[in-house]
Structure 1
Amino acid sequence: MNSIFGNIDDLYLFFCVVEEGSLLAASKKLHLPPSTMSRRLSALESRLNLRLLEKQGRELVATQTGKETFQAIRSGMENLESSFTQIMTHSEEVAGSIRLAIPHNFYRAFVGDVVEDFVRQHPRVNVELALSQEHSMPETNRDLLMTFDLTGLDGMVARPLFRAQHGFFASPEYLDKVGPIDTLEQLQQLDWLSADRQRDMPVYQDDEFIQVLQIKPKLVINDINAIAGAVVRGLGIASLPYRHISKDMKVVQVLPQYHRSDKQAYLVYKERKYQPRALTLLVEALLEASAMLKYGKPVVQGD
């Protein structure tokens, strides 16, 4: 659309610079060189005979006139973005590649079934799964990460999946060796097995915070199923999710009135705007499957 403003997308460039907070951030969003954007913005200002942006340090910021212009066009630009996003969402072919990084136990719990159903329903989609406890930062809008730890993931979209409730478990053989455990101080001194390197473990009674245990893990394995196996074999005590405990496991819940803080799992990805339809559908499928999971307390031996 040509007018006194020039091409309408030059106005959109200006809109994005103000909305994103800098020329560099807007250029990354729009995948345009900063030099190209700067040239086109200067041309827009010349055509309008208005000063919309000015230097502040190393960044371009809106002048007072620019702020007023931004507010005047904001609603229209957002409506255009929303309309085109809806059109792209409904018309985009469900195809392409998706990369999903998840812990091993997530795959066995529910993700494997969801992904297999997904690729059957969408034969033009390729899914690459990376099974690992380590962070795999989403780098493109086709990357997904499942994690309990949001450290270093600022600026990402983090959708809650489920909360994992924990109890303290050990084998009868191990408890026979160490003797009765009646206090948190005794609990703290045991041989701890852990799926992470955490040393400070907040302990609760119901919803009330009691204290922080200072534990020293004897064995760290970044797989909760491996830790559960080590507990069964009598190597020590661990905080285990209730969903990993079944009646046929030879373990005992220690100090059942206490528990560590629940662990929140998240599905993490880059900003959803203009997200590929294949990724949108997989996100929805994973969230729906997670909502169906049961994470209640187990019926432990002796009940």
Structure 2
Amino acid sequence: MPRDHINELTAFLAVAKERSFTRAAAELGVTPSALSHTVRGLEERLGVRLLSRTTRNVATTDAGEQLQKRVGPLLEQVSAELDSVASLGSKPAGSIRITCTDAAIELVFRPKLLAFLRQYPDINIEFSMDYAFVDIVAERFDAGVRIGEAVEKDMVATRVGPDWRFCVVGSPDYFRRHLPPATPHDLRRHNCINMRMTTAGGNLKWEFREPTGREISFRFTGQTTFSNSMLVLNAAIDGIGLGYIPYDLAKPYIETGSLVEVLLEWSLECEGPYLYYPSRRLHSPAFAALVEAMRYHIPIARE
């Protein structure tokens, strides 16, 4: 394929992804006018309009969407294979893009990230914090992190953490003003700190396990709603209300007395986090090094 054709496709895919000539031009390091000229050349050569342009935004036409879906993954595969070949005989290097929640960043990556970056100074990692179920192929991420039950079946999944236990916590000041709940049903009388989950169609459900083993779930009302776990944690520490978060996030504050856990006997465990990525993609040595560094090894019980 002539080099000009590759440049045209690269330009088109950047604009289709960013939905903006300005942002795509900044990513590619060219001017918006030069980028527009390149894309127009591709449209003229193919004899079909690929982008619908207005004064406010840019969107793919049906033909453009089809080209993006078919050609985008192929060029990514070629780029990954070239990076893999180029890295043979040298230290792992390159950029890795990961989409995950703030809890995953804090509990999975943060404990190991400093040592990993010091060991591989030529590797750059970009974390995109998102609670939505992002299409990592379409959005050009190398991988994502989800709890096991949410990983799609067509993905390769590597365990990167132990099972998570969710807990209900509040500050000592809050409990000086409110009687602690004896059962999850009592939470209806409390100011519960909610977390918005776009994938769940509303606020996160608070899930519990009854002493009989039956699982139950509720959605509670409260004065505050946040978009991630760390903000819920901070609000609970500040005494705003009760938060429902992974125990390991709250553990340091429970140990120092800044938070108090309630309903311990009702708490629910779920399958731990997995790093997931497409099975068909050839990954670089840099990505392979990251997977191995973050891999969770289940402790072996000693007799």
Q: For residues 111 and 127 of structure 1, what CA distance do their matches in structure 2 show?
A: 11
Cα distance change on mapping 1:195 and 1:291 into 2, 3 Å: farther
Which residue of structure 1 aligns with residue 8 of structure 2?
none
CA contact (8 A) 1:161 1:291 kept: no
Q: For residues 281 and 207 of structure 1, what CA distance do their matches in structure 2 show?
A: 44
- The answer on 1:277 being equivalent to 2:285 is yes
Q: Which amino acid is the alignment partner of residue 214 of structure 2?
A: F
2:116 corresponds, among 100, 115, 118, to: 118
Deviates further, 146-155 or 180-189: 146-155
**How far 1:165 sits from its partner (Å)?**
0.9
Which residue of structure 1 aligns with residue 175 of structure 2?
175
Q: Report which of the two structures shows the higher radius of gyration computed on alpha carbons.
A: 1
CA contact (8 A) 1:148 1:263 kept: yes
**How far 1:125 sits from its partner (Å)?**
3.1
Q: For residues 218 and 231 of structure 1, what CA distance do their matches in structure 2 show?
A: 12
Which residue of structure 1 aligns with residue 157 of structure 2?
158
- The answer on 1:107 being equivalent to 2:115 is no
Q: What runs of 5+ residues in structure 1 fail to find an aligned partner?
A: 1-26, 33-86, 293-303
CA contact (8 A) 1:199 1:216 kept: no
Deviates further, 115-124 or 278-287: 115-124
Which residue of structure 1 aligns with residue 259 of structure 2?
251
Give secondary structure in 1 for the equivalent of 2:241.
Answer: coil
Which residue of structure 2 aligns with residue 231 of structure 1?
236
Cα distance change on mapping 1:126 and 1:176 into 2, 3 Å: closer
Cα distance change on mapping 1:126 and 1:212 into 2, 3 Å: closer
RMSD of Structure 2 on Structure 1 (CA): 3.9
Give secondary structure in 1 for the equivalent of 2:295.
Answer: helix
Q: What runs of 5+ residues in structure 2 fail to find an aligned partner?
A: 1-69, 76-83, 198-202
Question: Mapping of 1:1-303 within 5 angstroms?
Answer: 31=74, 91=88, 93=90, 94-112=92-110, 114-139=112-137, 143-148=142-147, 153=152, 155-162=154-161, 163-197=163-197, 198-205=203-210, 208-243=213-248, 244-245=250-251, 246-262=254-270, 264-271=272-279, 274-288=282-296
Cα distance change on mapping 1:132 and 1:184 into 2, 3 Å: closer
Cα distance change on mapping 1:260 and 1:194 into 2, 3 Å: farther
Tell me the TM-score normalized by structure 2. 0.56
**How far 1:207 sits from its partner (Å)?**
8.1
Give secondary structure in 2 for the equivalent of 1:195.
Answer: strand
Give secondary structure in 2 for the equivalent of 1:281.
Answer: helix
CA contact (8 A) 1:95 1:125 kept: yes
Percentage of identical aligned residues: 19
**How far 1:282 sits from its partner (Å)?**
0.8
Residue deviations 1:150-200 (CA, integer Å, cap 9, x gap): 769553223332321122212233234333533332123422113343454
Q: For residues 207 and 277 of structure 1, what CA distance do their matches in structure 2 show?
A: 48
**How far 1:263 sits from its partner (Å)?**
5.7
CA contact (8 A) 2:180 2:262 kept: no
Cα distance change on mapping 1:126 and 1:261 into 2, 3 Å: closer
**How far 1:258 sits from its partner (Å)?**
0.8
Give secondary structure in 1 for the equivalent of 2:193.
Answer: strand
Which residue of structure 1 aligns with residue 24 of structure 2?
none
**How far 1:143 sits from its partner (Å)?**
0.7
CA contact (8 A) 1:97 1:127 kept: yes
Residue deviations 1:116-166 (CA, integer Å, cap 9, x gap): 433433344333333444444322886121234876955322333232112
Residue deviations 1:176-231 (CA, integer Å, cap 9, x gap): 43335333321234221133434543311468125332323532223322212211
Cα distance change on mapping 1:248 and 1:118 into 2, 3 Å: closer
Give secondary structure in 2 for the equivalent of 1:167.
Answer: strand
CA contact (8 A) 1:92 1:277 kept: no
Q: For residues 257 and 227 of structure 2, what CA distance do their matches in structure 1 show?
A: 21
Cα distance change on mapping 1:28 and 1:223 into 2, 3 Å: same
Q: Which amino acid is the alignment partner of residue 164 of structure 1?
A: W
Runs of 4+ in 1 over 6 A off after TM superposition: 27-30
